[in-house]
């Protein structure tokens, strides 16, 4: 088995390619990121000492348009992971029919160990380092794990200083006050929610009888929990890095969200409270949450949480992947054998990049939309592309994951075909 994250990600593409009529040369092209930038970012700590952080930005493919994808801050960020994440962005853009290629970036850092000012210096320093590699028509970053609106605002401001032009369209997921879009912050969760609604309809589920566990209670986890709760679904468990909570008759999600955010103030960039600090709840571990006897499991945190070690113990009938890459290749096989339906990350969490696209369109046109307009456009696009993946899964008799990759490949193949061989294979870009 391939041992780096990018090669493992490509294995799924190769599997899907067996089912799709795609020229081998196009497939070969997708095996290599278009360009990779590796940088070091010196940051002056508050105590006067100097620390150097390593960061990356990867353009996987620009077949369908400029690169698009988030920037993450996490101690385990490395180049192979960023390449895999950039590749998934290529697939997401294709599946959602967006005019974007795939890109991703990150810095190896534990951001919770930095003060607010240190974090701002790091964020501005990173953007200065990658400023020539990004741009509104080249590559448009966005938030990802442990980066958020505030950080996007600093980055937009720094980029604007570098190019001496106010450039809100260089980055998405910005604060509303700096050209962000209404509906962007909840978009990843909302997109996943539409997928689940479609599936519930397909399986003829009664929301009130449908139990759900959510692993990861950050932005995406909270937003889907809230929507599902409002819709009458029974969210019985949620967890964050501090642990999980469980109630078999359903959690009061608005209260849980309120509790989680209670300690949050404008001075803080990260939420310091855990759901486990709430009173009157049954506390469980993250591992216990993953194997609860529920209808739907939603991994909404990091990658590789469903592995060959716990896949046999997963009791959910459906897994909705709000995180990127939460299921390993080995776990995939075991889940497929047990007929667990997996709505793959490249479809389930694509609501985020979709509303990022809407933000970019608004920035470029100067015409700003209402929240309803954003939500309606997202809903229409999400339901349409979910149906396209489901139809293909039925037609080819394959899993949702394989169908999603097939759909992405078809769209990428059509663009490669339309461009002709000159641009793609003879080195002209």
- Helix, strand and coil percent figures for the chain, each rounded to 5: 50, 15, 35
CB 303, min distance to ligand GLU, A: 11
CB 171, min distance to ligand GLU, A: 9
Site membership for ligand GLU, residue 363 (CB under 6 A): no
Binding mask 154-183 for ligand GLU (x = CB under 6 A): ------------------xx----------
Q: Which of residues 105-144 bind ligand GLU (CB under 6 A)?
A: 142, 144
Contact status, residue 10 vs residue 87, Cβ threshold 8 Å: yes
Residue 178 or residue 236: which is nearer to ligand GLU going by CB? 178
* Cβ-closest position to ligand GLU: 70
Residue 154 or residue 233: which is nearer to ligand GLU going by CB? 154
Residues classed as catalytic: 104
Size of the residue set binding ligand GLU (CB under 6 A): 13
CA distance 425 to 428: 8
CA distance 275 to 109: 24
Site membership for ligand GLU, residue 70 (CB under 6 A): yes
Q: Which of residues 318-337 bind ligand GLU (CB under 6 A)?
A: 324
Which burial class, exposed, middle or buried, applies to 240 when counting CB atoms under 10 A from its CB (0-12, 13-18, 19+)?
buried
CA distance 276 to 205: 30
Residue 69 or residue 168: which is nearer to ligand GLU going by CB? 69
Segment interacting with ligand GLU, rule: CB under 6 A, options 107-115, 208-216, 346-354, 380-388: 346-354
Spatial neighbors of 411 by CB under 8 A, at least 6 apart, are 64, 94, 95, 97
CA distance 166 to 186: 26
Site membership for ligand GLU, residue 299 (CB under 6 A): no
Structure tokens at 37: 């930038």
Structure tokens at 229: 């709760």
Site membership for ligand GLU, residue 101 (CB under 6 A): no
Site membership for ligand GLU, residue 68 (CB under 6 A): yes
CA distance 94 to 409: 8
Residue 146 or residue 205: which is nearer to ligand GLU going by CB? 146
Interacting residue with ligand GLU among 33, 55, 69, 102 (CB under 6 A) = 69
Minimal CA–CA distance to 106: which of 136, 87, 126, 128? Answer: 126
Segment interacting with ligand GLU, rule: CB under 6 A, options 122-130, 189-197, 351-359, 388-396: 351-359
Beta bridge partners of 239: 215, 244
Structure tokens at 352: 């985020």
CA distance 125 to 375: 34
Residue 172 or residue 185: which is nearer to ligand GLU going by CB? 172
CB 205, min distance to ligand GLU, A: 27
Structure tokens at 424: 């793609």
CA distance 304 to 215: 12
Residue in this structure with the two tokens 């939603």, named with its chain if needed: 298
CB 78, min distance to ligand GLU, A: 17
The footprint of ligand GLU (CB under 6 A) covers 68-70, 92, 142, 144, 172-173, 324, 349, 352-353, 356
């Amino acid at each position: 088995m391939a041992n780096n994250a990018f090669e493992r990600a490509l294995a799924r593409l190769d599997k899907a390619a067996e089912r799709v009529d795609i020229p081998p040369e196009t497939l070969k092209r997708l095996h290599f990121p278009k360009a990779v930038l590796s940088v070091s970012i010196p940051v002056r700590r508050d105590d006067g000492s100097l620390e150097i952080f390593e960061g990356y930005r990867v353009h996987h493919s620009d077949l369908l348009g400029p690169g698009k994808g988030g920037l993450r801050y996490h101690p385990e960020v490395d180049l192979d992971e960023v390449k895999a994440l950039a590749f998934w962005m290529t697939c997401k853009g294709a599946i959602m029919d967006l005019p974007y290629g795939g890109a991703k970036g990150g810095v190896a850092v534990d951001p919770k160990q930095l003060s607010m000012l240190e974090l701002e210096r790091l964020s501005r320093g990173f953007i200065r380092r990658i400023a020539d590699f990004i741009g509104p028509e080249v590559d448009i970053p966005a938030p990802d794990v442990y980066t958020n609106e505030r950080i996007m605002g600093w980055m937009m401001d720094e980029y604007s200083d570098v190019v001496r032009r106010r450039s809100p369209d260089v980055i998405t997921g910005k604060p509303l006050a700096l050209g962000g879009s209404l509906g962007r912050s909840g978009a990843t969760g909302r997109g996943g929610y539409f997928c689940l609604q479609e599936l519930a309809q397909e399986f003829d589920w009664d929301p009130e009888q449908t139990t759900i566990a959510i692993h990861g209670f950050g932005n995406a986890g909270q937003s889907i929990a809230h929507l599902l709760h409002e819709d009458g679904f029974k969210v019985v468990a949620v967890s964050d890095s501090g642990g999980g909570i469980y109630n078999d008759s359903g959690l009061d999600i608005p209260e849980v969200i309120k509790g989680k955010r209670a300690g949050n103030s404008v001075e803080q960039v990260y939420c310091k409270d855990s759901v486990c600090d709430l009173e009157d709840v049954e506390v469980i571990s993250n591992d216990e949450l993953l194997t609860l006897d529920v209808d739907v499991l939603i991994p909404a945190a990091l990658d590789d949480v469903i592995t060959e070690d716990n896949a046999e113990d997963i009791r959910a009938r459906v897994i909705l992947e709000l995180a990127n890459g939460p299921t390993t290749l080995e776990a995939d096989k075991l889940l497929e054998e047990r007929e667990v339906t997996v709505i793959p990350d490249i479809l389930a969490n694509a609501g985020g990049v979709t509303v990022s696209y809407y933000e970019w369109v608004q920035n470029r046109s100067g015409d700003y939309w209402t929240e309803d307009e954003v939500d309606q456009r997202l809903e229409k696009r999400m339901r349409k592309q979910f149906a396209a993946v489901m139809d293909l899964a039925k037609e080819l008799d394959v899993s949702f994951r394989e169908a999603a990759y097939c759909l992405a490949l078809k769209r990428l193949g059509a663009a490669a075909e339309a461009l002709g061989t000159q641009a793609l294979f003879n080195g002209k870009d």
